[in-house]
Structure 1
Amino acid sequence: MKRLLACLGTALVLAGCSSSGSDALAPKTVDNVDLKRYQGTWYEQARLPMFFQRNCAQSQAQYTLKPDGNVAVLNRCLTEDGEWQEAKGTATPQVPGKTDKLWVEFDNWVSTLLPGVTKGDYWVLYLGDNYSTALVGNPDRRYLWLLSRKPTIDQQTRDELLSKAQQQGYDTTRLIWRTPDADMPKTTK
């Protein structure tokens, strides 16, 4: 039942964050994302609140470039109860040949019944040196993820990501930061 509610919540949230992307006041994305370099594991350092992540203490995403140029997405969330929750999906370019703005659609019963309705914006706003950090958001600035290739980041990197998010007009006072490993339950399922 939890998984069903999580999938439904994901679908509703992503449908709500879809946008035409034509807003002149939208955040600026990076010029180009090399999806081959972008693939791999990213650890969420902080996020603006999202319904489907409400019980997540730590999250990570695994991106794998597919032969068709799309990206397989595997999001994992360790809940405060020490349980892993997963969601699989696909990211596709919003504009053919451009990789800075993607649509993400998760594989669940809602997306099967209503294809295209549950697509959410995934805009790459910033990439650190050697693809070590990233800021990802959506055009209306309701959602934001501060990502790193490492499970934890130092204060300087944290400050840099916060500054980049603020420059893009995101309200960083509402960010939810990952729970440190020491505070997490030792049981994983």
Structure 2
Amino acid sequence: MPRRLIALLAFAVTLALSASASAMPDPVDRLELTRMMGRWYEVARLPNRIQHGCQAGASDWTRTAEGFTVVQSCHKGAPDGPLSQWNAKAKVADPVSNAKFRMSFFGGLISQEYWVLDQRIDQGWLILATRDGKYLWLMSQKPTLPTLIRAQAVARIRQLGFDIGRLEFPLPLPTRG
């Protein structure tokens, strides 16, 4: 009896570990690092505390000898609300694919791995998520994505196994006319 119980527990643990390991999709096979440079606009995200109430979010990626300096910003409450910024350093965590980054915030107090799960160079967007899948962003090289392209990107997020019903779609910066 104890042997059967141990075997059953071992099977359950193996099943749980394989299920959690396969829950997060793999990053893209290869990312050209020059594609990360420049400004990326936030189109959609999974909710997170730091960006609560953020609108018109953006990330500015600048290449350095060690990787990238990333300045993230958003406007609190409204696209023309008070500006909030925080800095990060990003280093390539997987030089084979270049699709995994170790990012550190607040002088290295917080460090987390981010994966590029998909990219559509021709459409100007990418999907970035934390390694554990808790956080996710749809980023665009333009302030907004055309409706059809945005729908395709959101469908891709669903295909990757994320709950798109939880996505937030922050308002973009107002256009000046």
TM-score norm. by structure 1 comes to 0.74
Whose Rg is larger? Answer: 2
- 2:17 matched to which residue of 1? none
Which secondary structure state, in structure 2, belongs to the residue aligned with residue 51 of structure 1?
coil
Q: Output the aligned Cα RMSD.
A: 2.2
C-alpha contact (below 8 Å) 1:38/1:63 kept by paired residues: yes
Which secondary structure state, in structure 1, belongs to the residue aligned with residue 157 of structure 2?
helix
Q: Which stretch has the larger CA shift, 129-138 or 55-64? A: 129-138
- 1:32 matched to which residue of 2? 30
Structure 2 Cα separation of the partners of residues 131 and 153 of structure 1: 9
Does structure 1 residue 49 correspond to structure 2 residue 47? yes
Cα distance change on mapping 1:102 and 1:131 into 2, 3 Å: farther
Q: Deviations over 1:6-65 (max 9, x none)?
A: xxxxxxxxxxxxxxxx93332121111111122100000010001000020120000011
- 2:11 matched to which residue of 1? none
Which secondary structure state, in structure 2, belongs to the residue aligned with residue 32 of structure 1?
coil
Residue 138 of structure 1: how far off its partner (Å)? 2.1
Q: Deviations over 1:109-146 (max 9, x none)?
A: xx3xx5xxx21121101111247101011233221101
- Return the letter of the residue paired with 1:63: W
C-alpha contact (below 8 Å) 1:136/1:144 kept by paired residues: yes
Q: In the comparison of the two structures, how many residue pairs are matched?
A: 155
1:78 to 75, 80, 84: 75
Larger proportion of strand: 2
1:146 to 122, 138, 146: 138
Structure 1 Cα separation of the partners of residues 30 and 123 of structure 2: 12
Deviating 4+ runs (over 4 angstroms): none
- Return the letter of the residue paired with 1:86: Q
**Seq. identity, %:** 29
Cα distance change on mapping 1:25 and 1:174 into 2, 3 Å: closer
- 2:98 matched to which residue of 1? 99
Cα distance change on mapping 1:180 and 1:90 into 2, 3 Å: closer
Name the structure, 1 or 2, with higher relative contact order (CA <8 Å, separation 6+).
Answer: 1
Q: Deviations over 1:147-187 (max 9, x none)?
A: 111101111111111111011101110111012545x9x9x
Residue 98 of structure 1: how far off its partner (Å)? 3.8
- Return the letter of the residue paired with 1:102: F
2:63 to 48, 62, 65: 65
Which secondary structure state, in structure 2, belongs to the residue aligned with residue 23 of structure 1?
helix
- Return the letter of the residue paired with 1:121: E
Cα distance change on mapping 1:153 and 1:51 into 2, 3 Å: same
1:173 to 150, 153, 165: 165
C-alpha contact (below 8 Å) 2:123/2:149 kept by paired residues: no
C-alpha contact (below 8 Å) 1:141/1:169 kept by paired residues: no
- Return the letter of the residue paired with 1:91: A
TM-score norm. by structure 2 comes to 0.79
